[in-house]
Amino acid sequence: MQPPKSLSRVVPQPASRYLSGGMDDQAHRLPALAACLATVLGGSAVVATRFAVAEIDPGALAFLRHLGAGLLILLLAALILRGRLLQSIAAADLPAILGLGAIQYAAFGWLFAAGLSYVPAARGALAIATYPVQTLILAALLGRERLTAAKVVGALIAMAGVAVALGDRAGADGPDVWKGDALLLGAAFLGSVYNVFSGPYFRRNSALAVTGVQIVFGALLILLGLFCTGVPLQLGGLTSNSWLALAWLITIGGVACFYLWIWALEHTAPSRVSIAVTLNPIAAALLGALVLAEPLSGRLAVGLMAVVVGLALANWPTRAAVAVPR
C-alpha cells in the first residue's frame, strides 16, 4: 500500500525517476508550466522593481521583498501544518537547506546586482540565459538526470531566442565588461547548483517550510551585507506607487513566484525547470512595454517564438513512463 502524500511530507523519489526520462507527459508537463508561470511572474517583478528602485536602494528592496515573502510563506506553512512547522524539516537536513538558501536568496542576488553594475541589463539577461545549459551539464555530471539531444537543443534554441530578442541592446564597451560577464555567469552557476541539489530536500521535507526558511535566511544575510556596507533602510519617502510595487514584489513576485518554482523543482527534473528562465527577460520586456510604455521590436517577437520552441523541445516526452518503486 502506498503511503499518502501530504503538504507536510512528500515521499522521496529516487534519481532514477529522472534518469529514465520516464515520467508520463502529464507528470512533467504541469511542473514545466509552473516553472514558466513562475518565470513570467519573475518578469513582472523586474517591472515592479523599476518602479521602486528610484526611491530605495536595490539591496534594501531585495531585503524587504525576501523578508516579506519568506515570512508569508512560513505563515502559510504554519497554518497548513497546524502546529507541526518545527517538525516539518529534518534536523539533519537543516544545514544543507540553509546553505542552499544562502546560495539562491543571498549570493545569487548579490552577484546579479554586482554584475549589472558593469554591463547593461540586456547583456546581463544573455549571461543569465546560460542558466539552463549550466543546470543540464551539472545535473548530467552528477548523475541526477540523463543528457538528451532534445534537452540540449531546446536549451540552445531558447538561449538563441534571448540573444535575438535582446542582442541589439546587449552591447557594452569598457575594460571592465568582463567582470560583469564573470559575475553574471557565476550567478547563473549558483542558480544551477540550487536547482540540482534542492529537489531532494523539498521531497523529504515540507516544501513550504523549506522555502520560507531559505528565503528568510537569505534576507537576513542581505541585511547583514547592508549593515556592513552602511546602506540605510529608509522607507519614509516612498510614494504610493512604490508601496504598491513593494506589495507586488512580496506577494505575486515573491510568494507566488518562489512557490511555483520550488513546486516545479519538487516534481520534475532540474533542467526542465531551469530552461524556463529564458522566458524571464522576454516577459520583462513585454510587461515593460505594457506598463512602462517601453519600445518593442520585431526581434522580441522572433526571440519569444524561439524560446517557446526551445521550451517545447526540452520538455518533449522521450519514452513511456517507467514504474517507480516507493
Q: Which of 125-129, 153-157, 292-296 has the highest mean pLDDT?
A: 153-157
How many CA atoms lie less than 13 Å away from 232 in the CB half-sphere?
Answer: 5
Q: Phi, psi at residue 9, to the nearest 5°?
A: -140, 135
- Check: pTM over 0.85? Answer yes or no: no
pLDDT band at 247 (very low <50, low <70, confident <90, very high): very high
Q: What is the pLDDT of residues 270-304, one digit of tens each?
A: 888 888 888 877 777 777 777 767 666 677 677 77
pLDDT band at 16 (very low <50, low <70, confident <90, very high): very low
| Of 267, 271, 283, residue with least CA distance to 34 | 267
CA distance 158 to 246: 30
pLDDT value of residue 283: 77
98-130 residues labelled b (16+ CB within 10 A) or e (exposed):
eebbbbbbbbbbbbbeebbebbebbbbbbbbbb
pLDDT value of residue 250: 94
Extents of the domains making up the chain: 38-314
Dihedral Cα 22, 27, 29, 31, nearest 10 deg: -110
| Of 207, 287, 206, residue with least CA distance to 253 | 287
How many CA atoms lie less than 13 Å away from 195 in the CB half-sphere?
Answer: 31
Give the other-Cβ count within 10 Å of 292's Cβ: 10
Please report, rounded to a whole number, the percentage of residues in the chain having pLDDT higher than 70.
Answer: 82
Own/partner contacts of 221-225, CB < 8 Å, gap of 24 or more, are 221/102, 221/105, 221/106, 222/59, 222/62, 222/63, 222/66, 222/105, 222/106, 222/109, 222/110, 223/63, 223/67, 225/59, 225/106, 225/110
Residue type, position 120, single letter: P
Q: At what angle do helices 108-115 and 58-81 cross, to 10 degrees?
A: 160
CA distance 267 to 17: 10
Q: DSSP code of 107?
A: I
Q: What is the pLDDT of residues 36-90, one digit of tens each?
A: 899 888 878 877 877 787 788 888 888 999 999 999 999 999 999 888 888 899 9
Q: What is the pLDDT of residues 91-117, one digit of tens each?
A: 999 999 999 999 999 998 888 877 877
